[in-house]
Structure 1
Amino acid sequence: MDTKDWLQRRQVLIYALAVVLAIGVGVSRPSSTTFIEQLIDPILAVLLYVTFLEIPFVRLRRAFTNGRFMAAALAMNFLVVPVVVWGLTRLLPPEPVILVGVFMVLLTPCIDYVITFAELAGGNSEQITATTPALMLVQLLLLPVYLWLFMGAEVAEVIEAGPFIEAFLVIIALPLTLAWLTEAWAERSPSGESWKATMGWLPVPMMGMTLFVVIASQLPRVQDSIGQIAIVVPVYIAFLVIMPVLGKVAAGVLQMDVGESRALVFTSVTRNSLVVLPLALALPADYELAPAVVVTQTLIELTGMVVLTRVVPAWLLPERPTPISLSNRSRGD
C-alpha cells in the first residue's frame, strides 16, 4: 500500500486528530490565534492546488458545458437556500447582531474546501470547480439584496466586494492556474510528472491542516461569546441536516448520476464562512458579535463535513439515485 492509499484509508482519524489538536491549541494558547489565522488563506490555496491536480483538465473543460448541473447548483444556492434560511431564522430572537451573522454565512455558498470534501465523498469535483466562478459572482451580487430583503438597507450597505474578490483570486484562480501549468509540465517532463505524483499524497494532510488552522484560530472568538451565540447552533445543525436531503431530492428530479448528485449535495450544504469572516469583521461596532456567529458556523460545518463525507456515499447516495417522476400518469395510461 502506497502513502496516498494509506492516508486515504485513515483520513477520518487524521481529521479527528487535527480537530482535537486544534481545540487544545485554541484553548491553551489563545495568544497564537492571530498568527495561525494568517495561515488560513495560504493553506487553503495549497489544499485547492493539490485538489485541482487530482482533476484531469480534459474533464474540467467538459464540466463547464454541463448547463444542467450549473443551473441546479445556482437554483439550490440562491432560490432554495434563502427560503430554508428564512424559515430557520424564524426560530431566532429578532436581534440584528445575531441575524446578520447567520444570514451572511448561510446565504453564501462555499467556493473552496467544498471541492475537497465532495471529492472525498466520491462526488464529481470538477463539476463543482466549474461552478465556482458563477457561485462567487452571484453571491457577491445577491448577498446585499438578501440582507436588504431580510434585514433592511442599513445592513446591506456595509457589505463590500473586496474580500470576496481577493478570496476568489487567491484561493481559486491562483491554485487553478498553477494546477493547469503543473499538468502541462507533467505531460512534457519526467520531473513534472514526478512533482505531480508527489503532490498526490497531500490532499488528506492539507485537509487536516485546514481543519487545524481554522479551528485553532477561531475557537477563542467563540469562547468569548459562547453564552450569547449558543442559540444559533441548532439552526446551523438543522441546515446541515436539511440541505443534503433537499440536494438529494433535486438530484433525483434531474436524474443526475451519483457523482453529480453527491456534488450537488455538497455545494448545497457547504457555506463560504472563510470568505465571509473578513466581511463580518469589517462590520460597524454595533455588530461586534457577528464574527463569532460566523465562526460558530465554521466550527460546526467542518465537523459536519467530516461526517457527511461518510454519510453521503454510505447512506444518502450510495448508488445512482432513483429518479423522481414528475408525471402523475400511471403505467397503464
Structure 2
Amino acid sequence: MELLEKSEPVLIFTAIILGLLFSDMPFLSSNSSYLITIFLFLMLYALFLEVPLGDIKKGFSNHKFSYRALIINFLWTPFFGYFIGNIFLNHNIDLLIGFFMLILTPCTDWYLLFTKIAKGNLPLSLSILPANLILQLILLPVYLLLFFSSSNSINIIDLSESILIFIILPFICASITKFILKNRSQLKDKITNTFTSFQTIFLAIAIFGIFNSEGKVLFSNINSIFYVLVPLIIFFIVNFLLVYVVSKKSNFSYEDYASLTLTTLARNSPLALAIATRSFPNNELIIIALVIGPLIELPVLYIVTKILLHIRKTY
C-alpha cells in the first residue's frame, strides 16, 4: 500500500476539519458542489481504471469462499442492516438511509491492507473484488427503492442521475481508456498507477467540499451523528461472529477465514457517498453519516486484525 492509502483516515479527518473551519467563506461554500461532483467522479474513474472487471470469473474459482462472501454481503447484510437500523434510527429517516447505504457497499480498497496485516489469503480477497464492485453497483439502487421508496426520501430521477454521473460515465471513460491503451501496457500502467495514487486525494477534496457546504447542518445536528455509532458497532460484532461460525462450519483455513472476515466487514463508503451527494441533495444528514462512517470503521478494522492475529494462534 502507498503512503497515501495508509494515511487515508488522517486525510479524511483533516479534510473534515478544514471544511468546517472554512465553512463561513461564501466563495468556497458556494462552489463546493463543483468540488464534490468533479473529484468524486475522478475518484470513481480511478477505481474503475484500477479494478480488473474482466477477472470476475476468477472470483468464483473458489466456490466455497465466493458464494459465502456474496451471500453475507448482498443477502444477509442488507436485511440485517435494515433491521438494526430501524431499531436505532427509525426516528431519523436520513440517518437510517445513510447508515443503510454505508453497510450495503463492500469495500474495494483498504480491506486488502487489513487482510495483509491479518495474514489472510490476499489473492483470494483480491479475486472477489470485481464481483463485489459490480454487485453493489447493481443492487444499491435496487435495495434503496425496495426499502425506502415509500418514505418520500427517494427521488427516482435524482437517483438515476447520480448513477449516470458517478457509475455509468466513469465506467465508460475507464473502459475507453483501457481499450485505447490495451496494446500500450507501459503507458496504461503509468496512467492507472497515477490515478490510483491520487484516489485518496480526490476523496479528501470531495469531503472538504461536503463539510464546507454543510458545516452549519453538522453543528446543528451533532448529537444525531452519534446515533449511527451503536448500530454500526452491532453490525461489526454480529458479522464478525457470523463469519467465524460460517468459516468453522465450512472448514476454512485461517487464511480464508481472515479474508472472509475482512471482505464482509469493510465497507465502501466513497461509492455510497458519490451516489448520495446527487440522489439526496437536500438530505444533508445522509451524506454526513456516510462521511463519518470511515472514522468509525477504520479503527474497528484495525482492532479486528489484532483479534484475528490472536485467533490465528489457536484456530
Alpha-carbon distance in 2 for matches of 1:181, 1:256:
42
CA distance 1:47–1:319, shift in 2 (3 Å): farther
Q: What whole-Å deviation, never above 9, does each CA across 1:105-160 have from its counterpart, x for those lacking one? A: 246325xxx21122333452331212332332233323222226xxxx35376445
* Aligned residue pair count: 290
Structural mapping, 1:306-321, within 5 Å: 306-307=298-299, 310-316=302-308
The higher-RCO structure (CA 8 Å, 6+ apart) is 2
In the superposition, the TM-score normalised over structure 2's length comes to 0.71
Question: Which residue of the partner structure matches residue 27 of structure 1?
Answer: 20
Question: Which residue of the partner structure matches residue 233 of structure 2?
Answer: 238
Q: Report the 3-state secondary structure (helix = DSSP H, G, I; strand = E; otherwise coil) of the residue aligned with 1:116.
A: coil
CA distance 1:11–1:80, shift in 2 (3 Å): closer
What amino acid sits opposite 2:274 in the alignment? L
CA distance 1:142–1:63, shift in 2 (3 Å): same
In structure 1, the gaps of 5 or more residues are: 187-191, 282-287, 324-333
Question: Which residue of the partner structure matches residue 217 of structure 1?
Answer: 209
- The one of 277, 295, 298 aligned to 2:290: 298
Q: What whole-Å deviation, never above 9, does each CA across 1:66-110 have from its counterpart, x for those lacking one? A: 55414532443333342244224312353445444444x246325
CA contact (8 A) 1:36 1:213 kept: yes
What amino acid sits opposite 1:42 in the alignment? F
CA distance 1:87–1:256, shift in 2 (3 Å): same
CA distance 1:22–1:309, shift in 2 (3 Å): same
Query: Once the 2 structures are TM-superposed, how far is the Cα of residue 280 of structure 1 from its aligned partner?
Result: 1.8
CA contact (8 A) 2:137 2:167 kept: yes
CA contact (8 A) 2:166 2:275 kept: yes
Alpha-carbon distance in 1 for matches of 2:153, 2:258:
33
Structural mapping, 1:1-40, within 5 Å: 7-8=2-3, 11-12=5-6, 14-30=7-23, 31-32=28-29, 33-40=32-39
Q: Report the 3-state secondary structure (helix = DSSP H, G, I; strand = E; otherwise coil) of the residue aligned with 2:152.
A: helix
CA contact (8 A) 1:89 1:99 kept: yes
* Percent of paired sites with the same residue: 10
Q: Which has the higher helix share?
A: 2
Question: Which residue of the partner structure matches residue 119 of structure 2?
Answer: none
Q: Greater CA radius of gyration, 1 or 2? A: 1
Q: What whole-Å deviation, never above 9, does each CA across 1:221-257 have from its counterpart, x for those lacking one? A: 2542444333533246425633651563344544556
In the superposition, the TM-score normalised over structure 1's length comes to 0.68
Question: Which residue of the partner structure matches residue 185 of structure 1?
Answer: 183
Structural mapping, 1:241-252, within 5 Å: 241-242=236-237, 245-246=240-241, 248-249=243-244, 250-252=246-248
Alpha-carbon distance in 2 for matches of 1:144, 1:322:
44
